[in-house]
Amino acid sequence: MIRKNKIKNIKIKKAKEKDIPEIQNVIYESLKSVKEKKALIKKLFNDYSILNIKKARKRTDMFIAKKNKKILGTGRIEGTHEIRMIYVKPKMQKKGIGTKMINYLEKIAKEKKWKSVHVKALWSAKEFYEKLGFVQDKKKKNKETCFMRKKLE
């Protein structure tokens, strides 16, 4: 399916230390727009402090989606085969940025010879991941998040 409102010329690049405040802004803007429980959102706000994002960038592969020097989205991939921290600015959602980030992270996973990846998604993002081929792992249950897996080919 081709989206009419898809944004062109998005570049996915490895995040640098100088990007962290803008990454945090993207995350916070995105979290403000979701319809999850307030307690969970408050916890996530705390999880994404500048210090915690710096630590995550040092221990994982963290990326940004950029256009015209502005960060529109972020994502990272961990050695545990987990895709994490997929956030896109609310005004830029449904324009292909999140999909491009997931595809990029899956490419990295394939280069590492991983057979699958998984994500712990907010329930409000479940449909997004399903459209990309992820399936819910019903063995892992959590009221706050949805565990999803995808086999890589």
- For 102-130, the pLDDT digits (tens) are 999 999 999 999 999 999 998 889 999 99
Is 2 domain-assigned?
A: no
What predicted TM-score, i.e. pTM, was given to this entire model? 0.90
Report the alpha-carbon distance of residue 32 to residue 62 in Å, rounded: 22
Domain count along the chain? 1
Is 51 domain-assigned?
A: yes
Q: Is the CA virtual torsion 124, 3, 103, 97 positive or negative?
A: negative
Is 55 domain-assigned?
A: yes
pLDDT of residue 3 exceeding 70: no
pLDDT of residue 18 exceeding 90: yes
Q: What would the mean pLDDT of 7-18 be, rounded to a whole number?
A: 93
Is 17 domain-assigned?
A: yes
Is 5 domain-assigned?
A: no
User: By residue range, what is the domain housing residue 16?
Assistant: 11-151
Per-residue pLDDT tens over the stretch 122-153: 888 999 999 999 999 887 777 888 999 999 98
Is 95:101 a contact under the CB 8 Å cutoff?
no
DSSP for 107-147, written as a single string: HHHHHTT-SEEEEEEEGGGHHHHHHTT-EE-TTS--SSEEE
pLDDT the model gives residue 2: 46
Is 134:116 a contact under the CB 8 Å cutoff?
no
